[in-house]
Amino acid sequence: MSTSSATYARDVRATWWYTALSIVFLHVFAVFIWSFVVVLEGTSLEIVLNLVGAVGSMASAVLLLVHYRREPLDDGDDTARRPVWPLVLLGLVSAALMGVSTGSLLVGVGFAAQTLCLVRWRHGIRLRLVVLLLVVIAAVWWVDAARLHPDGYAVSGFALPLFVAMLPPLSATSLWWWDIVRELDRARRAEGRLAAAQERLRLAGDLHDLQGHHLQVIALQLELAEKMMARDPEAAIEQVRAARTSVDEARRGTRDLAARFRGVPLPDELANAADLLRAAGLTVDLLVDSAAGGAPADVLGPVVRESTTNVLKHGGGGSASLSLARHGGAWVLTVENDARGAASPVGDGAGLSGIADRVGAVGGTMDATRLGDRFRLTVHVPEGVTA
């Protein structure tokens, strides 16, 4: 589960980079082609206007994409939204300069439409906007064709206008698919948190049922022993012994329940730890060996939980990494975090001595080092050991 989660997270980031770079490449290509035409045929003033418009248009597109990536998915989350209209204004002015320098109304309208398609509009507005822009672009294209080629539109001049006309809807469609990917990723994370919450509720219910039953039996046995103490001491002592037996049964039941809880596969343990750190605002890298399901979860599981708690309490930074790999007949767990701005130094009080004792009891080793602004905890545990 953890390996697939880490792979999925990397795929989501790769999808964004593919989407953004594709949009930027098409935008830069369109700008370059029209700028090349102006350089070959335009005046000095037209070349300067086109150069200023081209730089402004590309800067606006890149900044709008960065802004788009950071915007929240929820329409109602206005507090997390950043002002975008200065970037839109830059794109519109740049599009106007390019339209003037090329002498083409279609170029100006096309790049202005591209700017508007890079904005995260509220739900339902994007589709209507794209349809409206396509109608406007088609009308402007027809006007440009009639103005520039009154005797009939030249076939040789069809490709470049078509490329500019299709750039805005292609960008809007790409960003729409990216939003779907983000929604799926958010649903996956919510599903993981819900599964963890359900597991905690199930554990709490089992513990309540177990302890409630035994405590009720013990209370009745002690109450009966108290009532029989005066008239039948031997019977009262038997009830006390029975109560002690019930205490032992409760202890065994609790230990068995805890063992079941600790029996969570180590890949799931690491995935839950990564989700917890991400929920706290950290950027987390998770690398897990494909055979990690056979790692000693009863030994390394508490280490993962303790080290995760240490990162949350003593980390103070913005990033962390967790990795589990098999090397030289041992399982190697590495937890590293950014220790800049740590609230307190990591030391014996952070539970490191407890981790060292736990892994030392099974023949393992622990190493805790600070590397500049990074703190790294490395645990080696032999294969096949149990707590």
- pLDDT tens-digit series, residues 52-85: 999 999 999 999 999 998 887 765 555 445 678 8
Instruction: Write down the architecture of domain 266-382 according to CATH.
Output: 2-Layer Sandwich (3.30)
Look at residue 248 and give its three-state secondary structure: helix
Question: How much is the pLDDT for 157?
Answer: 53
Counting residues of the chain whose pLDDT is more than 70, the rounded percentage is 83
Give first-to-last CA distance, the chain, whole Å: 24
**Rg (alpha carbons) of the chain, rounded to whole number:** 33
Can you tell me the distance from the alpha carbon of 167 to that of 174, in angstroms, rounded to the nearest whole number? 11
CB 311 within 8 A of CB 320: yes
- Judged by DSSP in three states, 346 sits in coil
Select from 323, 314, 303 the least CA-distant residue to 343.
314
Please report where in the chains the tokens 């897990």 appear, as a residue.
Answer: 288
Of all helices (H) and strands (E), which one includes residue 336? Answer: strand 330-338
Element (H, E) at 321: strand 319-327
In the prediction, which pLDDT does 80 show?
A: 46
User: 320 pairs with which residues across the strands?
Assistant: 284, 337
Q: Where are the domains of the chain?
A: 2-189, 193-262, 266-382
45 alpha-carbon distance from chain centroid: 48
Helix ranges (H only) for 71-158 are 85-102, 105-117, 125-148
pTM beyond 0.75, yes or no: no
The CA–CA distances, whole Å, from 130 to 7, 58, 105, 191, 281 equal: 34, 20, 18, 33, 35
Amino acid 283: pLDDT: 86
DSSP code for 343: S
Task: Provide the pLDDT confidence category of residue 3 given band limits of 50, 70 and 90.
Answer: very low
Q: Is pLDDT at 265 greater than 70 in this prediction?
A: yes
Mean pLDDT, the chain, integer: 80
Confidence grade of residue 316 (pLDDT, cut at 50, 70, 90): low
Please report the pLDDT score of residue 260 as a whole number: 62
CB 381 within 8 A of CB 362: yes
Strand partners, 376: 336, 369
State the Cα angle at 172 between 168 and 176, rounded to 5°.
170
pLDDT digits (tens, 9 = 90+) for 342-365: 555 555 445 788 888 888 888 889
In CATH, the number for domain 193-262 is: 1.20.5
Give the pLDDT mean for 36-46.
83
